[in-house]
């Protein structure tokens, strides 16, 4: 399936000079949504996964679907102040700003195998911070999974030594 046909470019969002990859058309079509979920699952199929970490906010769309297909738990990583229980935090930089990500302290047990999923790999700062959070809790990052990879931003450089898979590359 040509998934790229369902991703639109929005120029100058969220600030001038950024071309935002909008996946809303992909999400609006039930057949494409299902095919996308299946294709993302195929990127990790056969691996032992105990938890799937979804990154705030668009990582929350496919991460629970993947967790269900993998018979794994789902763990949300959110921006600072959004989780209600005790957290561990990690600062990060992204294509157009900075922030702090948090995970619940009891979300991952030592030794658990973890798949990290987000919608886009851009500069890699967010994904690298999530990997650090998982490892602070004793989890093992098995793979980083993305719907879209913006290859021209070299996000893979921030994730050296990690297995990275993406459905679409730009």
- Is 26 within the bounds of a domain? no
- Is 115 within the bounds of a domain? yes
Stated pTM of the model: 0.95
List, for residues 94-117, the tens digit of each pLDDT value: 666 789 999 999 999 999 999 999
Whether 163 sits among the annotated catalytic residues: the reply is no
What is the model's pLDDT at position 14? Answer: 87
Residue 73 DSSP one-character state: E
List, for residues 12-65, the tens digit of each pLDDT value: 998 899 899 999 999 999 999 999 999 999 999 999 999 999 999 999 999 999
- Is 91 within the bounds of a domain? yes
Distance CA 170, CA 168 (A): 7
Cα torsion through 124, 169, 115, 84, rounded to 10: 60
Q: Looking at 8, 42, 45, 58, which residue is catalytic?
A: 58
What is the model's pLDDT at position 95? Answer: 61
Confidence of residue 93 (pLDDT cuts 50, 70, 90): confident
Produce one character per residue of 88-113: b if its CB has 16 or more CB atoms within 10 Å, e if not: bbbebebbeeeeebbbbeebbeeebb
Whether 95 sits among the annotated catalytic residues: the reply is yes
Q: Looking at 8, 42, 45, 95, which residue is catalytic?
A: 95
Q: Single out the residue of 71, 53, 65, 29 nearest to residue 135, CA to CA.
A: 53
Residue 124 DSSP one-character state: S
- Is 77 within the bounds of a domain? yes
């Amino acid at each position: 399936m040509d998934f790229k046909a369902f991703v639109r470019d929005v120029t100058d969002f969220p600030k001038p000079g950024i071309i935002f990859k909008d996946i809303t058309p992909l999400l609006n079509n039930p057949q494409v949504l299902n095919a996308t979920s299946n294709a993302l699952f195929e990127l990790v199929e056969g691996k032992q996964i105990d938890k799937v970490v979804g990154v705030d906010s668009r990582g929350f769309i496919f991460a629970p679907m993947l967790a269900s297909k993998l018979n794994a738990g789902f763990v949300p990583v959110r921006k600072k102040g959004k989780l209600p229980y005790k957290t561990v935090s990690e600062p990060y930089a992204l294509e157009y700003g900075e922030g702090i990500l948090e995970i619940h302290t009891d979300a991952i047990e030592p030794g658990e195998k973890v798949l990290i999923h987000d919608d886009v790999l851009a500069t890699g700062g967010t994904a690298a911070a999530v990997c650090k959070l998982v490892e602070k809790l004793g989890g093992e990052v098995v793979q980083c999974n993305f719907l879209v990879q913006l290859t021209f931003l070299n996000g893979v450089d921030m994730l050296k030594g990690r297995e990275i898979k993406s459905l679409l590359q730009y």
